[in-house]
Amino acid sequence: MGGRVEPILGPQGQYLGPNRVWKLEEDTPGLAMSRSLGDGLAHSVGVTWEPEVKQLTMQAEDKFIVIASDGVWEFLTNENVGRIVWPFYLKNCPE
């Protein structure tokens, strides 16, 4: 689609952080996302508005579900989020 996907290049030539969407020959826009609404530049390099949808069936052993943006998952692992949510689950306090 005329773009590339790779992390930011650090001062010693190493990749840093999450994958980002870039123009093929320029270091713009550098967005750490795969979907966007109304961003013409990002759209020109393959970023789409279409969501990725997964359908899962909840099982009896499933205790909770966390729906969060990539801004959460960029900084926290599943295990970190589980440790944060678990005490609220035990108290039956989803708020």
Task: Give domain limits for the chain.
Answer: 3-44, 54-95
Cβ 34 vs Cβ 21: under 8 Å: yes
What pLDDT, on a 0 to 100 scale, did the predictor assign at position 90? 93
Are 21 and 5 spatial neighbours (Cβ–Cβ below 8 Å)? yes
Is 80 exceeded by the pLDDT of residue 7?
yes
* pLDDT tens digits, 25-54: 888 778 777 667 677 777 777 777 777 788
Sheet holding 3-9, edge to edge: 3-9, 15-23, 29-31
Concatenate the DSSP letters of all residues of 23-37 into one string: ESSS--EEES-SB-S
In this predicted structure, what is the pLDDT of residue 1?
77
pTM of structure:
0.48
